[in-house]
Amino acid sequence: MRPTSKTALLPPLFALLAACGGEPPPPNVVYADPEPGLAASPRWLTFTCVEPGCETTLVATINIVGNRDVAIRRVVVSDRDRTDFEIVTSEPTPFVLKRPNVFEIQVTFKPDGDPRLGDVDVLVTYTDASANESEDRLAPGELALPLVRRLVGEAEMVVMPDRLVFGPVLPDEEKVLPVEIHNVGFGNIGLVLESVRTTLEDIEIRNLPENAILPGESWNLEIAYTPTDERFTEGELIIRSADPLAEPVHVAILGTSIARPALLLRPDNGISFGDLPVGTMGMRTLELINQGTEELVVQNFELTGQNLTFRLPRSATVAAIAPLESVEALITLDGQIVGPVMGNLRMATNDPLAVIEDVPISGLVTEPQIQVNPVAMDFGAVPRGWTVPRAMEIQNIGYGELIISDVNFLVGSSDLFTFRSLPAVPATLTNGQRLGFEVEFRSEVEASFAATLSVESNDPNTPSFEVQLQATGASCDLGCPISNGTPSCAAGVCAIGACNTGFYDSDLQAANGCECQEIGQDPGEFCAESIYLGQLDDDGDNRTFTGIIPTAGDIDIIRFHAKDSSQIFSDDFDVRITLNSADPGIQFCIYRFGTEDHQNECFFTGENCPSNRSYRHDGSLGREDGSDFTIKIYRTQSTTPSCIPYSVFMRNG
């Protein structure tokens, strides 16, 4: 039996409506079409004042269900001897109630001390109003309108069974199973069903209650399974009471109309152990389900993969599974070897659509392992006044998540070692991922210095990885290394005296020397020092020049001649010049001098400096458009020099 769905005393809104003589809000019950006849609204009348001297009058409206006129024969109280109830109808009986008319029953309750506590109903006896016989003639019947005195107690819902197994049912056949709804509460509070639902197409819910189920009573729902084609049906019936505080009851539904053995595996996408810490054992269940109407036989199990084992219940080697039954097999991974787990379970079955079935098995045996590069760092002799940075890197060379919890200098480390860049921690690295940062040494005095860098992580073998750092503060006279240049020790400070030819100091930092190298030949800023790229014919001829602007005042001049060839009825002369660079501070200006033949001089006239770094001059039909083009590449003011290169693309036609 599933857990019961228990309601406490009705919520305040329910009680307030009952106190006013009404009934709870009409539940959203999934009912089949009601039987023809009569229906009452509300479905019962509740009288809350039961002391002698009270007088309460409540009204119920009676309407027709169906499409037949109804003859109302009599309206009486079920206990003829009672003197505390009086009823008055809006029409004297007998009478004919025609659709869509209704009539009212007014009930007055005057408690007079009558000790009888039995149920009392208003009974409305009726029959079909027509004298003619027909197939849809309304059968004689009687509508009971319960008269409830004071709501006391609580409703408690118990549903049996908790699982409906229809078994094999062939297409277009039908099987009906009952579901019993019990009100095991006490008092006079009825159990009202708000809804009975299912999403299964082959399931129909029948015989839902039209009234509340009183304490001690029960009601049988009829659940019909009618498959229309071959399929496995699995789902649930969800039963909710009108009490919003009560949990719904779920009834599992299982059926099949597949006329053969049919294998279903759960999970259906293979077995995954996920991340398994090294040295531990992982266990997963593989459920073999027979969805068909005939016995399923599964055998010849073959398991591949390191440290994997497979076992059927009772160590069987063959699984014979009855229709809609299942067998749970156990797959075990002994996590002794770090790394990915790849395996496969193959089996043979008598399911004609799954003669051979493969189940992929995956997982990851984890043990994060930290690696720090370099494992030790010597900054060497650093001239006084210099600050030298060095790059470091943390990598997870193991499996599973490596969590970097802290990166710091241990107590006793020289404070001349500091972090130039440090990522936010904690940080998580998967296998192969890296985390970079920089440390630097600031040389202030001539002496030797040391520090210990500690990286804290969840590496079980090296939770604290230590890197030894050392450096020597040196005088300029003892050593002033300048890369790609010559040193200067003016004022005792190591500085750049001059850069070698083709090298430049863009960042004005002596520690990294002359870090920028010219690309090819460096054009000068004067016409005589410029680079001439030759003639570009108007048939699509093009050139590309690449260089750098490493200093604030650097200017490059490049030139070319654009030829305008003779054409009849057309002109292909079309010059386009584009500057590309990741450095937004690099710009260019274009100067055009019209000439059929190239001139050796530079004519800086007609300046055009496009902000979008793109220029175009399209020729005119019938006119000579040949021109010398001079291109000035420069750095805008207030931008920081860099070694980032630029490229100028030139095309004619």
- Output the pLDDT for position 279: 93
Torsion-angle region of 385 (φ positive above 0: left; ψ -120 to 50: alpha; else: beta):
left
Contacts of 49 (CB under 8 A, 6+ apart): 56, 111
The upper half-sphere exposure of residue 13, i.e. CA atoms within 13 Å in the direction of its Cβ, equals 7
Token output for 524:
């000068």
Q: What's the residue count for the chain?
A: 653
- Bridge partners (DSSP) listed for residue 126: 72, 141
Choose among 612, 631, 484: nearest CA to 550.
484
- Bridge partners (DSSP) listed for residue 394: 372, 435
- Output the pLDDT for position 93: 93
For the chain, the straight-line distance linking the first and the last C-alpha, in angstroms and rounded, comes to 87
List per-block mean pLDDT (blocks of 10 residues) for the chain, which spans 653 residues. 34 35 41 77 86 88 94 93 91 94 95 69 95 89 90 86 92 94 84 92 92 88 94 94 90 94 95 95 96 95 95 95 95 95 96 96 96 96 89 96 96 96 91 95 93 97 96 84 87 86 90 90 92 94 96 94 76 91 96 93 92 92 87 93 95 93
pLDDT tens figures, 1-12: 333 333 333 333
- Output the pLDDT for position 124: 97
All domains of the chain in start order, with CATH = 5-153 (2.60.40.10), 263-366 (2.60.40.10), 370-474 (2.60.40.10), 485-517 (no CATH), 527-652 (2.60.120.380)
pLDDT tens figures, 56-66: 999 999 999 99
- Output the pLDDT for position 155: 86
- Output the pLDDT for position 118: 67
- Output the pLDDT for position 114: 61
- State how far the Cα of 83 lies from the Cα of 22, in Å rounded to an integer: 23
pLDDT tens figures, 607-653: 999 999 999 999 877 678 999 999 999 999 889 999 999 999 999 98
List Cα–Cα distances, 231 to 234, 235, 278, 496, 590, in angstroms: 10, 13, 43, 84, 77
Helix H segments across 298-363?
none
DSSP assignment of 18-71:
HHTT--SPPP---PPPPPSEEEEESSSEEE---STT--EEEEEEEEEESSS-EE
Token output for 53:
């001297």
